[in-house]
Structure 1
Amino acid sequence: MRKTAGRSLLWQTFFRYGGLLIAAAVVFGAVVGYQNVSVLVRESETLIASSLTTSAAWMDARVAEMDAIAYHIVDSSLLYPYEIFRNGYTAAQATNLLNSYKNANAYLSDIVLYYDESVAALFDAEPRYFTTTGPMDAETFWHYIHPVSSGRLSPGLVVTMPQQSMLIHPVTETVKNQERRFLLYLTPAGKMPMWENHRGLILFFIEESVVNEGLARTALLYDGVLGVYNTDGDAMYRYGEAPQTLDGHILDMVQDAGGQPVIAHTGSGVCVALRTQAHGLTYVLTLPAGFNAPAIYSAIASLLPFVALLTILALWGAYLLLRPLFRPMQQLKDMLRPYSLQSDESLSGIVYSIRELEAHRDRLESLGSQRATLARIQFLHNLLQGAFQSREEMESQMRLCECDCGAARYVVLCCRLVPAPETNERILDLCAAAMHVLTETDRLADEVRFAVPEGGPNEVSVLCGLPPETDASAHLESLYHTARAVFEGETGAKLVCACSEVGSGLMEVSALYLHARSALSGAFVRGNARLLRWEGTRRDANIGWYPVELEEALHRALTFAKADEACLLARRIEAEVRARELPEYAAKSVCLSLVRNLLRLEASLQTGVEDDQPYRTLIARIEAPGTTLDGFAGALCEMCEDFCARRARAAAPGDAQQREHCRQVKDFFQSHYPDSTLTLAGIAARFHLSEGHLSRIFKACTGTSVMQYLDTLRMENAKALLRRTDASLDEILKRCGYVDKSNFIRKFRRHNGVTPMNYREMMRIQKRSQTDA
């Protein structure tokens, strides 16, 4: 017996503290493995930087020697035929002199002197080329010094060469029926002070095998790409792939390093760069991820079994530790399952399903310890079963289980789940008690703030049930002022929506609801009803109407600076408001929301508006008591015209060609937005522009980036498909160019405040209300 008890205690101790021990072991193993790998990586990077420094020094020494040879050739007056003859040099003697330079520097394969037609014209002779292997015709010369594959070079380069310091380029030549690769070093004679106006060129040929032994040996050793760049970042020689312009960020780093190697980590691997002080050349070695470091791989491989074992133990321990936390939620689901699908048409207001209660699981679990949470669940269960005989008994039970304002809010939600087709006294007592807790303390603001994201509005539902003989207007007005005093503040606008099942006086209650919605700092944002779906029984279905589709069309017209279309839509909105014969509060609420959303749109598009006083003036005129909506369409149309004018000014970069590029890109998006493989690099390549240039001109034209514009276009089409079709979410993603469903839902929620399925349901509810009307 004692042995069994001892085992039981041992198992209890392991279950209680085993998770902590496993977590500590995992952290220790990860830290040790990370330190070992970090040491190996740092040692490898140091070795690579040292090799690059050695290679750069070798190349600098070769360049210095070739500069010295070029200076001696010019100083010996070998460049002009006139000087050759004057000093008694013959072509053979010049060739011998060049051969002596080549033999003294074993790494050189050949030396060539060239002077252009302007010099030859002085002697009425054809241009001559002196080389150690014989005459060199113009075609061969162009082939050697042309840096691209076409094999031809305009003589203009020869004229501009004196402004450059040098040119290094790999060439291929067939020698004795065998293809050989050389490194061509081209320097202008004009770089010498005494010949600064001369157009002559001196060419050195170096066997690439010699270069591989020196300059490119680092790239060969580490299976990377080694490039040599001038001070402007233009590629002169690149071993491993085609030349390309060096990133400006790397240029800034090597310039600040003062001749020391710098190491930069990129998404594709490691980049080691060095700029020499003697010639201003920049050497950049780009290494792939996991560069030739077998020690790193072996270290990681040795840690894999240990990490895998610790991960399995950690998951098992986490399951044992977290399993008790899910029991209260499962018990709540079992208790509420009989009521979760009750949706009688006679029960107005909001019908919450079990899924919406599950969305608040985190909030429910955070109310206290496991025992306190179970007490609250039991309280809700007793409430739904009608176990309380009086209001005093219910309030006493609430205090015993430490239910605060947040718990009282759940009481109200659960009261609406009771399948009572008719109002009864017990339900009214329970709702009144819950409302008493909700409204008597300022702590309500802190309890509901968990549902309000930073900087964004949110709707907080305050539900109440009132008998028909109650003065609904007075009660709701008092509730409105109380809520406004609690919720107004700098943390963001909060909207208090009051729903009632009142029969008489419903018109006044609904109008007051709309007035409260517009008065609370303009907090109502269309489609942002995360906690509220307001669909009460109403005599006049037009009271809850809002021109959603017309406003979206208006915003699209303003985004693309279509002033005529925007004015037409503004007049249509005014005609719809008048045709529905809305009450004064409701009509003013719609107009106020239109103006405020227009101001938000202008702020988001950054049209350059300097003064929002016209918006403020129109809002004040609408809110003023006793005013009518006459002339609203004209004022809104005038604002739209000013909006489009500012939009057009912001979108005009001043270059017709740039505007044409923007138009072509937008037309391309209209027909290709379903293509999920579109990228900025691919779009720029399609229109033969660089990524940076395309981004700049598109931002100047539209006020937004290329990919943001494409994402907005896709989102608008997704919303249209949700409104007008019954297509599944996977089909909509495919037709709009999205791949990741969770990423799409997150973006949709950020743009519209609700999930795609909730948005479709809201649009259907509004359509049914308009159809019933």
Structure 2
Amino acid sequence: MSWNYFRSKLLLQYIWSYILIFLIPLVVLTIFIYQNAVNNLRSEIEQSNVNQLNQVKLNIDSRMTELRDIASRIAYDEQLTPYMIRHPYYSRDAISALGKYKANSSILEELFLFYRNSHAIYSSKGMTNVDVLFDQYYLFEDWSKKDIIKELETELYPVVRPAESVNLSMNITKSMLAYMIPITPNSSSPHGTVLFLMEESKLTGLMDTILNGFKGNTYIFDEKGRVLTQNNHGEPIPKNEIHLLSELGSGIHSLKLDNRQQSVVSVKSSMNGWTYVTAMPSEQFFGRVFHIQTFFMLAFAVVVIAGILAAVFLARKQYHPIHDLMEFALLNEEASAAQPAPKRGNELEWIRKTLHDYSARVDIQEPFARNQFLLMLLKHGKLDNPESAHIMEMIGIELTGKYYFIIAISWDEYPGIADALQHRQQIVELLEEIEIPEYGAHAYGIELPHFDQFALIVSMNEDSRISVEHQMEQIVEALRIIVMESTHLIPSIGVGNAYEDAALLNQSYIESASALEYRMANGKGSITYFNKLSHTPNDTFWIAKDSLLKLTQSLKQGNDTVAMQMIEAIFNKLKAERVSISLLRCICFDIMNTLLKTASELGLNELIRDIPSFTSFESLEELEKKLQLLAAHICEQVERNSENEQLSLMDSVIAYVDQQYTDYSLSLEATAQKFSISSSYLSRSFKEKTGSNFSQYIWQRRMDEVIRQLLMTSDPLKDIIVRVGYLDTPNFIRKFKKEMGYTPGQYRKLHASSEQAKAAADADDESIS
């Protein structure tokens, strides 16, 4: 398959159509599957975050409950009463008890017990002054000593301080949360406060596993929306947008924070009102499916390549019949040189135009094909084969009647009537196909090669009220009236016998032609029925006149089939009759004389030397065989002469056209009248002889002469066009450009060899413009 094969726009359209047919669903399906995989992964991660946040919530809630329980136990512990903790001896046990309480919680950094209206504060390490503790050992970044002491003295409910930086005495800084619980719990007038300090990392450490390697941020908000603690992996969320997270309800959310789409999971504790939140950039989920993305891209590329190859294969397979059809049409067009080759990529339009042109040509040739087929019926009868039935169906011929017969018509003119040719053409068109419904008849007209003769194949239904002969007479009379009323021509009519089998139409045609011969005896405008010629003048046996007439006419027509049938029928009748030998010999010589006389009339004089061989016979069978050979020879010679006459006639017509094509009055009708033949016969025969119709031939001759004069002379274009017989100069120029691709002036410029011719071309362009 060459590269030029792919230059066809139609083929490329087919390829692109197939590619789009599979590529669009493939892209949609791939995107859907890929997006579904990403969404599933995102959903799994988010659901995992929900589960882990719930777990963290439970853990922290459990730890905070432990701290409240520790505070309650401290409040009711007898070792930790204000008296016992201040006692010089028992204070050591109290300090030890605080150490045990601290050890019960894994998240505690330190716990302190403060009794209000006192300056002492106790821890697992001992007792110290509250001012010293928060001035030297625990220095909070945002929580001043004054505020700490105030809240220790006055808080009535548990309070959690957000994580903040705390500077310890050893110059160590830690981020801690402070949790104060007044004791006794739920008392309207607590007498002390338990202060728990928790390292922020202990809480955030519980949340580290939530992100599971993803970049993001985790937060714990208190019931007021304050950030108690946070853990950042990656870029933190701006502080002015963090409050949006605390306002979310429990569940999975999608927010745009810091101009990035975030997947947010939120869980709220029903115990203390705290909210646990994770926020992760959504684009990370696509990165996690990179291996899936790579697999999808490879699979997509393989499928696309396979699909393109399949599309090319299918498109080529679909385009191949169109290509073959175009090549076939191009071969025919190049052979006839009737149409230029199609432009690249316009195959369907060109094929449509070609089919339209072929259809127009078929419409033009259909009458000729129809007439030729009807002539074949006259010569051979209806052939019982599928091909003949198909041709009859194509050209619209139906032989569906009960009886069939042939009418032969010859024209005679009224004296002094002009335009006889026009009247003949008018009657030919009138009788091309005619219906006579009142007599149940349908007739098809056939132009015969003879200029003044016409034939009708009549198909009629049976009328039980009258005889077949009477019905035929009514039909013939009706046709004669139609002709007489429509034209000034006088029809002489010969009518053959009616047959039930259309295969015997050739018999009826010979009979009608034989009957038409009697117009010389019966006069102009006569109607002669063949069946009325068959009666002999006396009762003495002899060969029937109609049989000899049919034999003579079949020989003149060159119809060997009917001639053989007539010879066989005559000799069968002779064999059936009982006549004397002398009478039998006379009858045989009469038959022989009929054949020889016909041959002589046809100009076949060379048969005279063979007369001795015909006159010597020993039996009727021997004579029958000799006469059949003689008849076959006569018919063969008649056919050959007819063909030669037709060829000779067409040669004369072509020679006449070649001489007169520059005459603008030259036409098909005038030429037919000059050679005494019908226009349709001339058109058909001219086409068979030259390969083009009459007008195309004249146009081509004029074109050739114009081109010759354009190249060889410097005469003005208008003068050349008029000289070749074309009076409409603009129309000629349009037709010339359509056929040659250039105007005559352009053509002369391109191909003329002399400077004078080129100068004349410039003058032509100026005169035309």
**One fold, TM greater than 0.5?**
no
| TM-score, with length taken from structure 1 | 0.33
Report which of the two structures shows the higher radius of gyration computed on alpha carbons. Answer: 2
More strand by proportion, 1 or 2?
A: 2
